[in-house]
Structure formats: structure tokens, C-alpha cells
């Protein structure tokens, strides 16, 4: 790691970048005031309870507290910021540790396979289940009765799923610890705040430990690896994803390449809740259908499901007439329905969801963009050049999202 730091410093060649060792980064990091302030009894108590679940001792219990503070919780109560920044950091660390695991354990697998299996490891479904398994949902501070209701509902369902898996194991003469490790796949999706807690917690450990990546790896080894020891359990995880299905359906069944799934943030209506995300499916510049959800990822999954139902109820001829689709004639799709501009469909779909979600997080973090739909489009089109032609058209149709 130190050699890499030196290499960067050489390349950057600036008086602003003088690091020669990895630990210099932490020295250069000024700890925020909230982190250094004296901890309250309840913050110390939380640190104690969490340490019993994951054996890591927090030097700064207020940093840990931050991982459990939902954006709806008023800052003035504890003067600790909400988890969004830590979640942003933890999301990337989790990605890195999962990629590292898959890359080394499966030296012959192609990037598409690796991406599909990573999707399962970093999915909200898995992280939500892990959050409940730790009992972390009980420590979340938030101010939204609707979220509380959906947490309770999810906790009941996922706890039941785990119990059933354990009972099945016993019935089949296996140990409880050897129950079906993919029990979390077939439940409803968790409210987004639960996976957020896990990501923020990983971010908090990293910062608290002076940016010690070994601590992230230890968390992975102790709590995540078990679920993915037999990674073949998740071979169909990505394919079950409705966004992936829609991509395949449009390209292979309809022979169309000029479509996009577009996510845009709706205006804040001042109800104290985070603004919703509207996802729409556009085909040749026309809106097929739309769905609103609390995150871009969920909105896209929902809209993809709805779009599939609509498309499946019509014929190919109707589709080509309605959307004036001439993609085949223009050679935009290959004979086998493969998109000739970018054949890597599954990976693109997976990345697409991720990019949009990240764009939303950074937007809401910085409040820098007053017109998020434009920045989404830019992010998406740069990653997805095959559909960038419909940019102007789709923005016009989406004025609802940016006014
Ligand atoms: Zn087309």
C-alpha cells in the first residue's frame, strides 16, 4: 500500500500531495468536532452492545452513533450527523472487499459472472437481512412512522425466513449453523435504511480504526463470507433481477436497442420525507410507463416489472408500430438480438442501477444540483453510450422531474 501511495505522489507531483505512506492519509484527515466531543451514556451503551455483536472497540462512540442516525432524525438531538457520509464510504469499501474475495477465489470466471455474483453480495436484500441478524435495526434513530412500520414488517418476514431455514436444517439432520444461507433471497426487499446501516457501520469502523482496511476484511471474514461460501447458490441472482429481464426482453424478443430506464428525483413536497424517485421506461423517446419509490434502485426494479407486463401483453408488430422501432433495419441489434453497440447487457444493467443510486446519494449529500434529472442523464449516458441519442427527447418528456 505504501508503494502505491508513493507512486501516486510521484505522479501527482504537487505540493498539496506529499503523502509517502498510507498512514499519512489518516494524519492528513482532520477529525470532525462531533466525533471528538465527549460521548453520552447512551452512546457508550450503544458501543458496548454493538461490540458484543462485532468484536471491534470504538475509540469514538459518537462515530458509531452516526451509523445509526437516519436522515429524518433531527441533528439538534445529539449533534451527530446522519449516516449518509459513512454509508457512502462503507458502500465502496464493501464493494472492494467483495470484489477482492471473488477475484481471488474464482481466478477463471469472466467479469460478467463476477459482477453478477457481486450483485448478490452487496445487494440491499442481503445487507438488510444481515442488519436484522445483528439486531442493528433496534438501534436506528429515526423520526418517520412509515419507515418504522415497514421495518417491523420486514423484520417479521426475514426472521421467519431464517427460522424456517434453521428448522429445515434440523429436519434434514444438519446443524442449525448449516442452514440454507440464501434464505434472504425470497423475502420482500428491506426498507433501504437497513442496508444503509450496515454500509455506514463498515465506514465507521474504517474511519475509527485510522483507515485500517484489515478491519474491513475482518468484518467480511467474520460476518459476510459464511453466506457466500457456496457462491453457486446465487448463480441466478442477477437474472432474477427485473431490470436485467427487461434489458434482455427488449433486445432479444423485441429486437430493440433504443430504450432506456431513466430515474429522476421528484420535487421535495415538504412532508419531511426524502423526495421520491420517479423511474420511467422510455422506448424510442416515448414513455412506456413510470413508477415512484424511495430510491432509484427500487423505482427501477418496480418500473421494469411493470414494463415487462405491458410489453408481454402486446405483439411484436404492435410494438414496432407503436414505437416506430426500426432498430433491426438500422443494424442496432445483431441477428441473435444482441445489442451490437454494447453486448455486455447484464453487466451494464447491473452497473446502471449502481450508477444511478450513487448519483442520487451524492446529489442529496451535497445539495449541489438543483436539477438532478440532468446529472442522472449525464451519468447514465456516459456509462451507456448506446442510448445517449435519446437524451434531448427524454429530458423534455421528464420535465415533471426537474420543475
Ligand atoms: Zn427499437
Compute the distance between CA of residue 119 and CA of residue 347 in angstroms, rounded to an integer. 10
Same domain, 205 and 290: no
How far apart are the CA of 84 and the centre of ligand 1, in A? 39
Q: What is the pLDDT of residue 334?
A: 52
How far apart are the CA of 47 and the centre of ligand 1, in A? 55
Same domain, 248 and 205: no
Same domain, 140 and 172: yes
How far apart are the CA of 257 and the centre of ligand 1, in A? 5
How many Cβ atoms are within 10 Å of 178's Cβ, its own excluded? 12
Same domain, 217 and 309: no
Q: What is the pLDDT of residue 270?
A: 81
Full-model pTM: 0.63
- In the predicted model, residues of the chain with pLDDT beneath 70 are 239-240, 297, 333-403
Which of 204, 216, 270 has its CA nearest to residue 69? 204
Same domain, 160 and 100: yes
How far apart are the CA of 38 and the centre of ligand 1, in A? 61
Q: What is the pLDDT of residue 151?
A: 94
Boundary (domain end) residue, out of 233, 266, 282: 233
Q: What is the pLDDT of residue 64?
A: 97
How far apart are the CA of 336 and the centre of ligand 1, in A? 15
Same domain, 37 and 167: yes
Same domain, 347 and 215: no
How far apart are the CA of 265 and the centre of ligand 1, in A? 26
CATH code for position 132: 1.10.1520.10
Same domain, 37 and 2: no
Same domain, 6 and 44: no
How far apart are the CA of 252 and the centre of ligand 1, in A? 11
Same domain, 166 and 300: no
Same domain, 199 and 300: no
DSSP state of 389: G
Helix (H, G, I), strand (E, B) or coil at 260: strand
How far apart are the CA of 310 and the centre of ligand 1, in A? 16
CATH code for position 344: 3.30.160.20
Compute the distance between CA of residue 340 and CA of residue 332 in angstroms, rounded to an integer. 6
Number of domains the chain is built from: 3
Q: What is the pLDDT of residue 58?
A: 97
Same domain, 80 and 124: yes
- Sequence length of the chain is 403
Kindly give the residue spans of alpha helices, DSSP state H, lying in 31-144: 33-36, 41-53, 61-66, 75-78, 84-105, 111-121, 124-134
Compute the distance between CA of residue 199 and CA of residue 95 in angstroms, rounded to an integer. 10
Q: What is the pLDDT of residue 81?
A: 96
How far apart are the CA of 359 and the centre of ligand 1, in A? 27
Q: What is the pLDDT of residue 366?
A: 33
How far apart are the CA of 17 and the centre of ligand 1, in A? 49
Q: How far is CA 287 from CA 58, 261, 291, 323, 394, in A?
A: 50, 10, 12, 10, 8
Q: What is the pLDDT of residue 372?
A: 34
How far apart are the CA of 380 and the centre of ligand 1, in A? 19
Compute the distance between CA of residue 132 and CA of residue 129 in angstroms, rounded to an integer. 5
As beta bridge partners, residue 283 has 259, 286
Q: Which DSSP string do the residues of 176-197 spell out, in sequence order?
A: GGGS-TTTTTTSPPPPTHHHHH
Q: What is the pLDDT of residue 367?
A: 34
**9 lies in which domain range?**
1-29
How buried is residue 366: exposed, middle or buried, by Cβ count under 10 Å (0-12/13-18/19+)?
exposed
Amino acid at each position: 500500500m505504501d508503494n502505491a501511495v508513493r507512486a501516486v505522489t510521484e505522479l501527482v507531483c504537487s505540493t498539496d500531495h506529499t503523502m509517502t505512506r498510507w498512514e499519512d492519509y489518516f494524519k492528513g484527515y482532520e477529525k470532525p468536532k462531533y466525533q471528538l466531543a465527549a460521548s453520552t451514556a447512551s452512546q457508550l451503551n450503544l458501543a458496548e452492545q454493538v461490540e458484543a455483536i462485532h468484536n471491534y472497540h470504538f475509540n469514538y462512540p459518537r462515530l458509531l452513533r452516526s451509523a445509526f442516525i437516519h436522515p429524518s432524525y433531527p441533528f439538534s438531538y445529539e449533534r451527530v450527523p446522519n449516516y449518509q457520509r459513512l454509508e457512502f464510504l462503507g458502500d465502496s469499501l464493501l464493494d472492494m472487499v467483495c470484489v477482492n474475495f471473488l477475484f481471488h477465489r474464482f481466478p477463471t470466471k469472466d467479469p460478467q459472472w463476477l459482477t453478477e455474483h457481486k450483485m448478490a453480495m452487496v445487494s440491499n436484500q442481503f445487507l438488510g437481512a444481515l442488519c436484522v441478524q445483528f439486531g442493528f435495526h433496534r438501534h436506528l434513530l429515526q423520526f418517520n412512522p412509515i419507515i418504522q412500520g415497514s421495518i417491523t414488517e420486514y423484520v417479521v418476514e426475514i426472521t421467519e425466513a431464517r427460522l424456517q431455514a434453521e428448522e429445515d436444517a434440523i429436519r434434514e439432520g444438519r446443524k442449525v449453523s448449516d442452514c440454507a444461507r440464501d434464505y434472504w433471497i425470497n423475502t420482500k426487499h428491506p426498507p433501504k435504511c437497513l442496508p444503509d446501516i450496515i454500509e455506514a457501520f463498515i465506514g465507521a469502523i474504517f474511519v475509527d480504526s485510522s483507515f485500517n482496511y484489515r478491519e474491513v476484511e475482518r468484518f467480511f471474514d467474520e460476518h459476510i463470507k459464511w453466506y457466500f461460501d457456496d457462491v453457486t447458490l446465487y448463480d441466478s441472482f442477477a437474472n432474477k433481477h427485473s431490470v436485467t429481464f427487461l434489458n434482455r426482453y427488449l433486445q432479444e424478443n423485441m429486437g430493440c436497442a433504443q430504450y432506456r430506464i431513466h430515474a429522476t428525483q421528484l420535487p421535495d413536497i415538504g412532508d419531511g420525507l426524502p423526495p421520491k424517485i420517479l423511474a420511467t421506461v422510455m422506448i424510442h423517446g416515448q414513455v412506456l410507463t413510470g413508477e415512484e419509490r424511495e430510491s432509484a434502485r427500487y423505482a427501477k426494479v418496480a418500473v421494469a416489472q411493470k414494463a415487462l407486463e405491458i410489453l408481454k401483453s402486446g405483439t411484436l408488430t404492435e410494438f414496432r408500430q407503436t414505437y416506430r422501432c426500426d432498430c433491426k433495419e438500422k443494424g442496432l441489434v445483431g441477428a441473435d438480438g444482441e445489442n451490437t453497440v454494447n453486448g455486455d447487457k447484464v453487466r451494464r444493467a447491473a452497473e446502471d442501477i449502481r450508477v444511478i443510486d450513487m448519483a442520487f446519494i451524492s446529489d442529496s449529500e451535497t445539495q449541489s444540483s438543483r436539477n438532478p434529472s440532468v446529472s442522472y442523464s449525464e451519468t447514465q449516458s456516459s456509462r451507456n453510450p448506446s442510448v445517449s441519442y435519446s437524451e434531448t427527447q427524454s429530458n423534455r418528456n421528464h420535465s415533471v422531474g426537474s420543475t
